Structure 1
C-alpha cells in the first residue's frame, strides 16, 4: 500500500495537563470538587474549580448552548436541560460569572437541518456544534460564524493548551472559525459477531471476507439463535459503517492522498462496485435486513435487532455496543450471548484498511449574530480544567463511577448511574472520549470501557478499529461544490444504496452504473474535481 495508511497519532494526547491523572484517582472525600453532587434531591457542589481563580461577576448574561437530543434517555431520567450535569455547569461556571446557562436541544438525527434553520433565522444558540465539515465551511463562506482566534488568545489559555492538537482543524482561510473537540480515541468503526452462535456451529472467528460470508450463510441456514426464521445475519446497513468492507475491495496500490481527499467514499474507485455486488448477493440470499431501505432511524432499529437476539454480525461505531448499552441489554436478555470484535475484511494483499477519525472531533462555533462570544470562550476555557472535564464525563464518584484498582475511573451501570451519564458526552463537548492519562494511551483506551464487564471487548474493539487505519488528509480551503452539494449527495447515497443492494442480481450492473452516474451528475463529479484542485493548491502541487 502507499502512504495513505497511517497509524493513529496517539502522541498528541500527551498535551492534557498531568493534573488529570491525580484527579482521576481522587478518593471519595473529594467528591464535592471532583464531580456533580449526589443525585436525588442533593444540590450541585458549591466549590469553584480548584485550579482557576473565580471570575469577577459582570453584567447578567444568558448564554445559550446547543445540546444534542439523542433520543436515548433511560426511564426516569431527568430532563436533558435540568439534571446533575447542567446544575454543575450553572453552579460552578454560571453563578460565579453572573451567567444564566440555557440549553437548546436539537435532535441528533437531523441536527444539520435544524441548525441551518436556526442560523438562517438568526435564532441559533450562542454556542453551536456539528460533526459536518461542509456545514462549517458553508457558515465560513456566508460570514455566519465568528472568528474566535482573538477571543481564544485573550480568554482561552487553558483551552489552547488542552486542544492544541485539534485546534488547527478549525482554521479556515487562516482564521480560527471553529474549535474542534479533541478526539481521544481515533478508531471509527469495528465489526462484531455473535461468538456463541459460531461456537454452536463449530466455526472459528472469521479472519477473511470469505470466512465471514460463510458464517453469515451458516447463521441463515442453521439459525443458531433459535429466532424462528427471523435471523438477520448481517445488520446495520449504513454507508458510513460499511466502509471497512468497501475499502477492502479497493486497489490501494493505486490510491494517493489526493484520491482519498477528493473521494473518500470511493464512488470513483472501481473496487466499490464489487463490494456492493457482494452486498447485493447477500441481500438476495436473505442475509441482510430485508426492510433496511424503510428504516428511518438505523441506529435504533439496529440496536433493537441486537438486543432481541436476531442480529448475527454488524459493523458499528467503535465500541458502540458497550457505550450505547445494548450489549449489556443483550446479556440481560440472554446471559449466554457473546459478542466478539472481528476484523475480517481483507484486501488481496491481506491488509484491512479502514477510516479513522482525525485528532479533532465535533466542531464548536459561535454564530456571528451572537453577542456572547466572549462568554462562550470563557465557558469552554472553564471546561478545559481537567477537574471539570472529569466531572462532566463521569459524574460523582461512588454514584455514577468508581476508581478501579489500576487507578482508572469506570462508569457504573446502575439505573441511577445510567440516568446521569446517558448524554454526558455532549456536556463535556470539548472532548470526544474519556481522558485519564497523559503518557499511557492504553489507559485512555481502558477508560473508554464504559462498562467494566466489557473492558476486554472495548480494548479489542479500539485496537481493531485502528488496525491498518488511515486518516483523511487535511485541507482548510473551503470547496464550493462540497458546500453546495454535500447534503443532497448524502441523501442520494441513502436512496442509491437501497436500489443497488435490493435489485435482482441480473440488474445489478446496470443499476449500479446508473446510480453512480446520477450521483456524479448531481454534483459528485464537480465536487471531486474541485477537491482535487483544493488539494493541489493547499499542498502546492
Structure 2
C-alpha cells in the first residue's frame, strides 16, 4: 500500500493509527509556566463541531480537540552549545510548551536535541536509523526529498486535505503559500511545510566604528574604499591596538566562506541575471554557482595574501567560539555575518563585551560598501520561507504532531516564546512595543527570540507591523537602538527576493545536499588561502570536481525542468 493511501486511512481510523498511549495527566500547569490568554477554546470547539463528531471520534479527539487518551510525540530542537545557556530539551520554555500541549490537547511532548551547526549531517543519520523525531526540521529540502523517495517521510497532503479545519492557526499564520510551497506539481505529494520568514534580514557587513573615527576615515561605500580601509587597519595596528598590534585582524571570516563573504560575492554577480539563471544555478544556498562568483573569492584571496584576512579562519569548525572571542577582545576590524550578529546574546554579545573590555565607544556598525556592475547594492534575499518542517515515516501520531504545529503557531504562544514574561524578560513601553530585558538563569533564551521553539516562525511578529518593527529595534539589551536601525535598513536595501520556482522533484539533487555542501566549503577554503598565482588552478580544479560529483547533473535537470514548464521565459511575474 502506498504512503498516500495508508495515511488517508490513518487519519480516519484509530485502529490503524498505531497510537502510542499513556496515562492522562489532568494536573494544572505549574506557576513557572504561565497559562496563555484564553480565547481559543470556543473557536476550537466550533471547528470540531464543523468537522463532525464521527471523524473526531475516529481520531480519538473530543470536541475541544483534546485526545481522550494521552498521545506522545517527539520534537526536534537545535542545540547551539551556548556558554551559559540552558539544556535545549529541558528548560523554562520547553516546560511552557509541554504544559500547554498536555493541557490543551493531552499530548505529551519530548524534545530531542540536534546540534545546530551539523544539523544536516545529524538529521541524515537519524533518518537513516529510523530515529528522527516525529516533528523534524532542517534547512535542507534535498535531504527530505531523498528520504521521501525511500519511503521515509510522510506525505502531508492527504492528511491536510481531510483535516484542514483542525489546524486553523497554522493555516492562518503560514497561509497556503508556505504550507504548499513544496508540493510537487506533478504528483501532489507534500513532504514538508515551510516555516514563515517574517523579516527577510539576512547578512550585513560590519566595521569598527571607533577605528574609523580614530583614523579619520569615512565609512566605505565602494569595494576600493573598503580595501583601503582594511589596509589602513593593518598599517596602523599600533595606533589601534597598542601593545597588541601583532594580534590585528583587519577582516575576519570563517570556514563557511560562502555565508561569510556573501555581500562581497553578491556584488560580482551581474545585476541583470535572470530568474531562470538564478533557479538553474541557485540550488546551493551560498549562491556558489552564480555567474562571476569566482571573482568575489579572488578578491578575498588577494586580501588573504596581503595579510588583511584572519590567517587561521579555516582551522575552526562550526560552533567554535574562537572568532567571536577575537571580536570581543577588540582585535577584528571588519567582518560579514548575520544581519545583527554583534548585538545578539545580551551581556555576552560581541557589542557588550567590546564595551566592557575596550571602552564605551567601541562598537561595530553596519555599512554598505559593495555595489555591483550597475551600481546597485544588490542582496540576494530568501523567499518568505525558512526551515522545513516534516514528519518521518516513523511518526505514528501525525494528527497530534500537526496539532503541535498549530499550537506553536498561535499568536499568544509565539509572543510568549519570543519575549517571555513581562517584567522579567521584557517590558512593555508606552507606545505598545516590547523591549527585552537581559535574562539570567533558567529564563535565558538559547536562540534569538527563541526561534528554535517557534519553529513555524523566524523573526519577531507581534501581529502588528508597526509594533513589530519598533520591538525589533528595542530587542537588544544594552545596545543603542541606532545600531539596530542601521543594520535593519541596510540588510535588505536593494534586495532581490527569491521566488518559488516549483517545477517538481529534481532527481539529481537526491542525496547530494550534504556532500556538495562539504565540497563547496573545501573549495572555497582552499581557494582563499592559495598563493595568488595558484588561485585559478585551485578554484577551477575544485569546481570541476564539484560539477563532476553531481553539480552539473543538477544544473542540467533544472534547466530542462524550467524549459519544460516555462518554455523560453527567463523572468517570472
Q: Same fold (TM over 0.5)?
A: yes
Match of 1:256 among 255, 267, 274: 274
Q: Does 1:231 align with 2:222?
A: no
Quick one: which of 318, 335, 341 aligns to 1:320? Answer: 341
Q: Can you list the C-alpha shifts for 1:265-298, whole angstroms capped at 9, x where unaligned?
A: 5555552232222111110111111111211126
Q: Distance in 2 between matches of 1:49 and 1:365?
A: 29
Provide the residue aligned with 1:219 in structure 2. Answer: 233
Instruction: From 97, 110, 121, give the equivalent of 1:113.
Output: 121
Paired with 1:185 and 1:209, the residues of 2 have a C-alpha distance of 27
Q: Residue 56 of structure 2 aligns with which residue?
A: none
User: In structure 1, what is the Cα distance between the partners aligned to 2:39 and 2:157?
Assistant: 27
Tell me how far 1:46 sits from its aligned partner.
4.6
2:539 paired residue number: 512
Could you report, residue by residue, the CA deviation over 1:431-487 in whole angstroms, capped at 9, with x for unpaired residues? 101102434387267367333634222222122111121233323322122223222
CA distance in 2, matches of 1:498, 1:361: 26
**Contact 1:366/1:373 (8 A) holds in 2:** yes
C-alpha distance after superposition, 1:64-113 (max 9, x if no partner): 10010011142xx4422222111111222223432221010011111111
CA RMSD of aligned residues (A): 2.3
Match of 1:64 among 69, 74, 88: 74
- 1:396 and 1:514 map into 2 onto residues whose CA distance is 55
SS in 2 for 1:530: helix
Conserved in 1, the CA contact under 8 Å of 2:68 and 2:106?
A: yes
2:219–2:367 contact (8 Å) kept in structure 1? yes
Q: CA offset at residue 336 of structure 1? A: 2.4
Verify: 1:485 aligned to 2:506, yes or no: no
Pick one of 312, 316, 322 that aligns with 1:301: 322
Q: CA distance change for structure 1 residues 270 and 357 in 2, over 3 Å: closer, same or farther?
A: closer
- Return the offset for 1:186: 0.5
1:55 CA drift (Å):
3.7
Mapped to 2, the partners of 1:110 and 1:419 lie a distance apart of 23
The change in CA–CA distance for 1:491 and 1:420 in structure 2 (over 3 A counts) is closer
Matched, 1:497 2:524: yes
CA 518–134 in structure 1, closer or farther in 2 if over 3 Å, else same:
same
Aligned residue in 2 for 1:156: 167
2:218 to 204, 209, 217: 204
Counterpart in the other structure of 2:144: 136
**Partner Cα separation in structure 2 for residue 452 and residue 142 of structure 1:** 50
Separation of aligned partners in 1, 2:433 and 2:108: 34
- Asked if structure 2 preserves the Cα contact closer than 8 Å seen for 1:128 and 1:366, the reply is yes
Q: CA deviation at 1:133?
A: 2.1
TM-score by length of 1: 0.86
Contact 2:435–2:471 under 8 Å retained in 1: no
Return the match for 2:466 from 416, 424, 440.
440
3-state DSSP of counterpart to 2:387: strand
Indicate whether 1:99 and 2:107 are aligned.
Answer: yes
C-alpha distance 262-399 of structure 1, shift in aligned 2 (>3 A)? same
Deviation digits for residues 145-187 of structure 1 (CA, Å, limit 9, x no counterpart): 2222344414211110111142232323433321211111102
Distance of 2:546 and 2:262 partners within structure 1: 18
Larger radius of gyration: 2
Instruction: Determine if contact 1:392/1:428 at 8 Å carries over to the other structure.
Output: yes
Higher RCO (CA-CA < 8 Å; seq separation 6+): 1
User: Is this contact kept in 2: 1:248–1:345, CA < 8 A?
Assistant: yes
Instruction: Tell me the secondary structure at the aligned position of residue 228 of structure 1.
Output: helix
SS in 2 for 1:405: coil
Q: Cα gap change, 1:150/1:326 in structure 2, threshold over 3 Å: closer, same or farther?
A: farther
Distance 1:342 1:48, change over 3 A: closer
**Residues 485 and 523 in structure 1, CA contact (< 8 A), matched pair in contact too:** yes
Q: Which residue of 2 aligns with 1:399?
A: 424
Partners of 1:436 and 1:444 within 8 A in 2: no
Q: Deviations over 1:284-315 (max 9, x none)?
A: 11111111121112663332221121111111
Aligned equivalent of 2:266, options 247, 262, 286: 247
8 Å CA contact 2:66–2:105 kept in 1: the answer is yes
Distance 1:225 1:358 in 2: 42
Paired with 1:534 and 1:461, the residues of 2 have a C-alpha distance of 38
Asked if structure 1 preserves the Cα contact closer than 8 Å seen for 2:304 and 2:310, the reply is yes
Question: Residues 456 and 86 (structure 1 numbering): CA distance in 2 closer, same or farther, change over 3 Å?
Answer: same
Q: How many residues align?
A: 499
Over 3 Å counting, the alpha-carbon distance change for 1:274 and 1:242 in structure 2 is same
Question: Residues of 2 paired with 1:357 and 1:266: CA distance?
Answer: 11
Does 2:388 correspond to 1:363? yes
In structure 2, the residue matched to 1:463 is 489
Structure 1 residues 528 and 422: alpha-carbon distance in aligned structure 2, compared to 1, 3 A threshold: closer
- Following superposition, the deviation at residue 195 of structure 1 comes to 0.8
Shift in Å, 1:365: 0.9
Relative distance call for 1:308 and 1:535 in structure 2 (3 A) is farther
Within 5 A, what are the aligned runs for 1:405-424? 405-416=430-441, 419-420=444-445, 422=447, 424=450
Unpaired stretches in structure 2, ≥5 consecutive residues: 1-28, 43-63, 569-573
Structure 1 residue 60: deviation in Å? 1.8
Cα offset, 1:329, TM superposition: 2.3
